Amino acid sequence: MSVTLPVKKNDYIDVVFEDLTHEGAGVAKVDGYPLFVPNGLPGEKAKIKVIKANKGYGFGRLIELYEESPDRVKAPCPIYKECGGCQLQHLSYEGQLKAKEKQVREVLTRIGKLENVKVHPVLGMSEPWRYRNKAQVPVGEREGGLIAGFYQKRSHEIINMEACLIQQEKNDEVVRVVKDICERHGIPAYDEEKHKGQLRHIMARYGLVSGEIMVVLVTRTSELPNKQNIIDEIVERTPGVKSIIQNINSKKTNVILGDETKVLWGEEVIYDFIGDIKFAISSQSFYQVNPEQTKVLYDKALEYANLSGEETVIDAYCGIGTISLFLAQKARKVYGVEIVPEAIEDAQRNAQLNEITNVEFAVGQAEVVIPKWYEDGISADVLVVDPPRKGCDEALLQTIISMKPKKVVYVSCNPGTLARDLRILEDGGYKTLEVQPVDMFPHTTHVEAVALLELN
Point out the residues that are catalytic.
Answer: 413
Contacts of residue 45, defined as CB under 8 A and 6 or more positions apart, other chains included, come to 14, 15, 16, 65, 66, 67
* Contact indicator for 373, 346 with CB cutoff of 8 Å: no
C-alpha separations of 334 from 331, 448, 455 in Å: 7, 23, 20
**Listed residue (171, 79, 177, 164) closest to 129, CA to CA:** 164
Helix (H, G, I), strand (E, B) or coil at 395: helix
Nearest to 261 by CA among 151, 176, 342: 342
DSSP 195: T
CB 22 within 8 A of CB 52: no
Segments in 58-161 forming alpha helices (H): 93-110
Which residues, 6+ apart, have CB-to-CB distance to 1 below 8 Å? none
- Contact in structure between 350 and 277 (CB atoms under 8 Å): yes
Instruction: Quickly count: other Cβ atoms within 10 Å of residue 333's Cβ.
Output: 18
Residues paired with residue 338 on neighbouring β-strands, in sequence order = 363
Chain-centroid distance of CA 189 in Å reads 27
What is the arrangement of strands in the sheet containing 312-316, beginning at the earlier edge strand?
A: 118-119, 430-438, 448-455, 407-412, 382-385, 312-316, 333-338, 359-363
Q: Look at residues 109, 75, 105, 71 and name the one whose alpha carbon lies nearest to residue 90.
A: 75
SS3 sequence, 8-76?
Answer: CCCCEEEEEEEEECCCCCEEEEECCEEEEECCCCCCCEEEEEEEEECCCCEEEEEEEEEECCCCECCCC
Contact 40, 17 (CB under 8 A): yes
